[in-house]
Amino acid sequence: MDLKKTALGIELGSTRIKAVLIDEKHIPVASGDFEWENQYVNGVWTYPMDAVHSGVQACFAALKADVEKKYGLELDTVGAIGVSAMMHGYLPFDRDGKQLAEFRTWRNTITGEAAEKLTELFGFNIPQRWSIAHLYQAILNGEEHVKDVAFLTTLAGYIHWRLSGEKCMGVGEASGMFPIDSATLDYDEGMARKFRELTGIDLRAVLPEVLPAGANAGTLTEAGARFLDPTGTLRPGIPLAPCEGDAGTGMTATNSVRVRTGNVSAGTSDFAMIVTDKPLGVHREIDMVTTPDGLPVAMVHCNNCTSDINAWVSLFMEFCGMMGVETSKGELFTKLFRKALEGDPDCGGLLSYNYFSGEGVTDLNEGRPVFVRTPDASFTLANFMRTHLLSALSTLKIGLDILTQTEHVEIDRLTGHGGFFKTPEVGQLMLSAAVGAPVSVMETAGEGGPYGMALLAAYMLWREEGESLPDYLDKKVFAAAKSSTMSADENARAGFTAFLQRYEKALPIERKATEVF
């Protein structure tokens, strides 16, 4: 294998940092990962920056070991590198590069006042997790560090800066910091002017430069190479693609960057991305972001998806251990997911809310995982698991209904990816029941993010003159891709509708739980 004819994607996800190396045929040839978890400290969801550094380095070390094991090669270079991470959040720095506040992740729901005021000012929905909402909330709170902010970025933007020295990012990632004008592929000038008049802050001087997919975003510096690979093996000079958010890499990995295509990413959080060609009204439940090449995207984002499922599986693992039953967590996930297919379509009277944190779509600033049932409910393992799988999709469905029923957005193709879809068929059928449409899953469904970032790095390296990102993906990446498409039957669809009606009617239970417990 010629390492210079490879592309590397690294993504810092909610529970794993993962690296995927692809070859000229866009096939994954090696990977590495590192598990981590966010922390709730002093009312803020965060990751310590030393964990960010050590995690990225451990992930790259695992990739090096995989390359050595498979090919007998020392990973000292690649053709291009791209970095991705969880979108949004708050990472402010002063003029000397000193971090001014803890990293505030997308999961926080502590910027409600700022989000509401900016939405009214811009006439454009500003969700709580967006970087500009965090900055303005810090201003409203009178936080001392605000006066020293010289650079505000995201987690992906920070790692890209450490590797290349460049303060820039892809347009899709930038669209989760501040609204983007798709005509100029840059921050919306009118809204930036309004913010400057409101606060006195010139965002042009504070936010990263915006770059479209395919642009060159710098090269790996000597310091960047040592940061990524402290052993000194990795050589500097490798070109870097514009960093992107997990939404953009998910769109890329599922070939969902063309108008009227869409994808659902389901892991720790879940979100649906639908590429649209028309302006939409302002809805608190709908974010307007962009594809990596700048097309407008309607995004329904939910803070909570699989965390509650993971917690229950861990409980079942503990039970297996107590009973002396040897099994792996992967095997247990598969069996429990498949058991859900045997459940009643409406879950037999069971109900759960998977809210580990607040949820903007249902207007909750805090979360409490809740499981509830009626005395006469059919309390079986199959119904229990199906309840948690449908609960993971219910808030997403509430937002999607606004797109399809209120805004009449049309979707030609919907593709699922992320951990929710790792067990064959199950996640697909559950999502199909929720959206009432066929759902496709590619064979790379479980590893969409870093693979999508590797594809964006490859696009920068190997695209032809004038070749668009949708054409590159259609013709060179996914022309012969293996995928499966499934559609839930009418009983499953009707069952999800009944479950969702019960879910929405009982939402006061979740709200009350946040008040009293």
Separation between Cα atoms, residue 244 and residue 436, nearest integer Å: 30
Separation between Cα atoms, residue 38 and residue 104, nearest integer Å: 10
For residue 47, how far is the Cα from the chain centroid? Answer: 16
In DSSP terms, 240 is beta-bridged to: 81
Half-sphere exposure of 41 (CA within 13 A, CB side): 11
Given a contact cutoff of 8 angstroms between Cβ atoms, the answer to whether 398 and 422 are in contact is no
The angle formed by the CA atoms of residues 358, 173 and 398, to the nearest 5 degrees, is 40
What 3-state class would DSSP assign to 337?
Answer: helix
With 0-12 CB in 10 A as exposed, 13-18 as middle and 19+ as buried, what is 72? exposed
For residue 308, how far is the Cα from the chain centroid? Answer: 17
Separation between Cα atoms, residue 242 and residue 222, nearest integer Å: 19
What 3-state class would DSSP assign to 27?
Answer: coil
DSSP state for residue 202 in the 8-state scheme: -
Q: Which long-range contacts (CB under 8 A, 24 or more apart) does 69-74 make?
A: 70/29, 70/30, 71/1, 71/29, 71/30, 73/1, 73/3, 74/233
User: Strands 151-153 and 91-93: what pairing?
Assistant: antiparallel
Separation between Cα atoms, residue 387 and residue 373, nearest integer Å: 10
DSSP state for residue 165 in the 8-state scheme: S
Separation between Cα atoms, residue 474 and residue 258, nearest integer Å: 10
Given a contact cutoff of 8 angstroms between Cβ atoms, the answer to whether 446 and 422 are in contact is yes
Half-sphere exposure of 498 (CA within 13 A, CB side): 14
Separation between Cα atoms, residue 480 and residue 255, nearest integer Å: 12
Separation between Cα atoms, residue 274 and residue 437, nearest integer Å: 14
DSSP state for residue 85 in the 8-state scheme: E
Structure confidence at residue 483 (pLDDT):
84
The angle formed by the CA atoms of residues 507, 508 and 514, to the nearest 5 degrees, is 100
Structure confidence at residue 444 (pLDDT):
58
Residues of the chain with pLDDT under 50: none
Given a contact cutoff of 8 angstroms between Cβ atoms, the answer to whether 218 and 165 are in contact is yes
Write out pLDDT tens, residues 397-452.
999 999 989 998 888 888 988 889 889 899 999 999 998 888 998 875 555 789 99
With 0-12 CB in 10 A as exposed, 13-18 as middle and 19+ as buried, what is 117? middle
The angle formed by the CA atoms of residues 225, 230 and 232, to the nearest 5 degrees, is 65
Separation between Cα atoms, residue 365 and residue 40, nearest integer Å: 14
User: How much is the pTM?
Assistant: 0.84
Q: What is the DSSP string of 220-268?
A: --HHHHHHH-TTS-S-S--BBPPPEEHHHHHHHHTT--STTEEEEEESS
Please tell me the total number of residues recorded for the chain in this structure: 517
Residue for token pair 């309607």: 298
Write out pLDDT tens, residues 323-362.
999 999 999 999 999 999 999 999 999 999 999 989 988 9
Closest CA to 293 of 215, 381, 376: 215
Q: At residue 330, what are phi and psi to the nearest 5 degrees?
A: -60, -45
Measure the CA dihedral 196/198/200/201, to 10°: -50
Helices (H) and strands (E) counted in the chain, each on its own, are 17, 22
The beta-strand segments (E) located in 342-458 are: 350-353, 370-373, 413-417, 439-442
The CA distances from residue 76 to 160, 237, 324, in Å, are: 19, 11, 45
Separation between Cα atoms, residue 166 and residue 139, nearest integer Å: 26
